[in-house]
Amino acid sequence: MKNMKIRNLFVAICFSLIGLQTFAQTLTFNEKDKVFNLGFGFGNRYYGDSYYDRTFPPISLSLEYCVADGVGPGSIGIGAFFAYQSFEHDYGGWGYRYSDIVLGGRGAYHLPLIDKFDTYGGIMLAYRVVSSSTYGAYGGITDGHTDGSAPFFSLYAGGRYYLSSKFAIMGEVGYAYTWLTLGLSFKF
């Protein structure tokens, strides 16, 4: 049910953006452009409980390549995604440590709405690699606690506001690694 609501919201946002397209100035993501993103995540899809302590905050790196522009009013990009975060749950001398890595491929449709602002929405197909370990000893338990490694897909929407022709601030929302990602983008 939750996935259905998120998908419906994503579709509604995409159609709203298409309706606003008449205000677009120029494409900010053109054929053969490459954009590198460095993001910092907020909110967490997997470890939302307050009993987890973050030991390494969610960071993500992605690279996107524009394969075609002039596709309707926008352009299409594909790329790679990497993210990492870690958590710990301590029971007072013993506990669990989790390491969480996401490797994936993404595809997005970019729709220019405002000059210098690259808005987009897309899908990511990825594999989540989770490892865990215990420390200390409680009742003889000393082995790993969980392994949640699995493939997944997610929908996302975002934007990059260009401060110069090569540098932008970026933000993304979606049902992916974190609920909100803010960061920097570099076009080359």
Q: Which range scores top for mean pLDDT: 102-116, 125-139, 169-183?
A: 102-116
In this model, does residue 20 exceed pLDDT 90?
Answer: no
How many percent of the chain have pLDDT more than 70?
Answer: 74
**Nearest Cα to 55, choosing from 28, 95, 25, 3?**
95
pLDDT of residue 23: 40
CATH 3.30.420.40 fits 2-187, yes or no: no
User: 153 pLDDT exceeds 80?
Assistant: yes
- Give the pLDDT mean for 65-86: 94
Label each residue of the chain as H, E or C. Answer: CHHHHHHHHHHHHHHHHHHHHHHCCCCCCCCCCEEEEEEEEECCCCCCCCCCEEEEEEEEEEEEEEEEEEECCEEEEEEEEEEEEEEEEECCCCEEEEEEEEEEEEEEEEEEEECCEEEEEEEEEEEEEEEEEEECCECCECCCCCCCCEEEEEEEEEEEEECCCCEEEEEEEECCCCCEEEEEEEEC
pLDDT at 9: 60
Q: What is the mean pLDDT of residues 50-57?
A: 69
Asked if pLDDT for residue 17 goes beyond 70, the answer is no
Cβ contacts of 154 within 8 Å, gap of 6 or more: 123, 124, 126, 174, 175, 176, 177
175 band by pLDDT with thresholds 50, 70 and 90: confident
Q: How far apart are CA 93 and CA 158, in angstroms?
A: 42
